[in-house]
Amino acid sequence: MKQKILLSYGSGGKYTQKFINNFILKNFSNEILNQLLDSAVIKLENKKIAFTTDAYTVKPIFFPNGDIGKLSICGTINDLLCVGAIAKFISLSLIIEEGLEFETVDKILCSIKKISEEENIKIVTGDTKVVEKGSCDKIFIITAGIGIIENNIELSYEKIEPEDVVIITGNIAEHGLAVLLSRGSYGFEYEIKSDCASLKSLIEPIILDNKISQYLKFLRDPTRGGLSAVLNEIVNKRKDIGIEIEESLLPIDEKVKNVCELLGFEPLQIANEGKIIIITKKNIAEKVLSILTKHPLGKNAKIIGKITNENKSKVVLKTTYGIKRIVDMPTAEELPRIC
């Protein structure tokens, strides 16, 4: 019989220690975590840090090209990149439903271990709670991350100006669609791979090069709510500018496009987990693009539009038919729920 997680694993007693030894330390051993103190003590090389958190409740917990574990670490790395920081330390909180199989937990933790090692990240502190059956959906993972801002890069809504260029690092709408299709509730089987990935090696050369980074304005990973949500957030924050993007320039895989059409989804609203929107001054846009497209994760990167002086506080899409239409902040009804 497969071994299962018991409530007692979260009780703070013997079984909790067993869980920490057999699952956590086995996978994530490092000199900071191994102290098993209430908090991790960290010496920083630099005084400017970035700090982020995300709660992962994705359903299903495994999907093509990823799982909730990989997602949680990649999401944290990418959130830190968006303020110009390189992820160094991550905290890992697990909320596990009683009865979840050991095998499942192990698979998820191995996936966290793999990506953390690849990206040179230390899991330095954590917490595990086990809740009664029905009190959580299999497993929730909540990460917080600390990253170091190596140079004096400052990215913000305020820096964005008309004529700035909007770049997306690759094909859109893949993660959300992958998750939705892997639920198998659409009456057909079709595999779309999630784009779930750490973008560290893609974005690092851009944020660490001062000649480029001084002209970077804003980075954001278009997760929940997709491109629509991020672009609308910008014009909501900065009502003195508009954004114009061109449909013909949007990188999207043909299969993804077809499935979106079939299911009536708007690709602009579908979540991505391995893409970043980059807004730069025009002078370095081509340079940034040439760096991105040399990297496997950026090979489909495209300039998709620009910041405008007109259509203030609006996101405008120039369709392939040449018609311009407003892209609104997605409402919940339009958004397929993925987490």
Among residue numbers 172 through 231, which ones bind its own copies (CB under 8 A)?
Answer: 219-221, 223-226, 229
- CA-based nearest residue to 247, from 158, 312, 316: 316
49 vs 249 by CB, closer to its own copies: 49
Using CB under 8 A, pick the residue from 3, 29, 35, 210 that binds its own copies: 35
Pair 217, 164: CB distance under 8 Å: yes
Pair 222, 229: CB distance under 8 Å: yes
**Shortest CB 37 distance to its own copies, Å:** 5
**Shortest CB 300 distance to its own copies, Å:** 22
Q: Is 39 in the site for its own copies (CB under 8 A)?
A: yes
Cβ neighbours of 43 (radius 10 Å):
5
Q: Is 326 in the site for its own copies (CB under 8 A)?
A: no
Instruction: Identify residues 257-316 at the interface with its own copies (CB under 8 A).
Output: 269, 271
Q: Is 159 in the site for its own copies (CB under 8 A)?
A: no
Type and span of the H or E element at 178: helix 174-182
Using CB under 8 A, pick the residue from 25, 110, 144, 208 that binds its own copies: 144
Q: Is 5 in the site for its own copies (CB under 8 A)?
A: no
Task: Put residue 21 in one of left, alpha, beta given phi > 0 → left and psi -120 to 50 → alpha.
Answer: alpha
**Shortest CB 21 distance to its own copies, Å:** 10
d(C-alpha 335, C-alpha 176), whole Å: 10
**Shortest CB 8 distance to its own copies, Å:** 3
φ and ψ of 289, to 5 deg? -60, -40
Q: Is 237 in the site for its own copies (CB under 8 A)?
A: yes
Pair 130, 9: CB distance under 8 Å: yes
**Shortest CB 99 distance to its own copies, Å:** 15
d(C-alpha 129, C-alpha 270), whole Å: 31
Pairing of strands 216-220, 277-280: antiparallel
d(C-alpha 308, C-alpha 201), whole Å: 31
**Shortest CB 148 distance to its own copies, Å:** 11
Q: Is 8 in the site for its own copies (CB under 8 A)?
A: yes
Instruction: Identify residues 42-101 at the interface with its own copies (CB under 8 A).
Output: 42-45, 47-55, 57, 78-80, 82-83, 85, 89, 91-95
Stretch that binds its own copies, among 13-21, 23-31, 249-257, 300-308 (CB under 8 A): 13-21
- CA-based nearest residue to 178, from 92, 271, 245: 271
- CA-based nearest residue to 82, from 158, 176, 156, 159: 156
**Shortest CB 240 distance to its own copies, Å:** 17
Using CB under 8 A, pick the residue from 66, 69, 126, 170 that binds its own copies: 126
Q: Is 110 in the site for its own copies (CB under 8 A)?
A: no
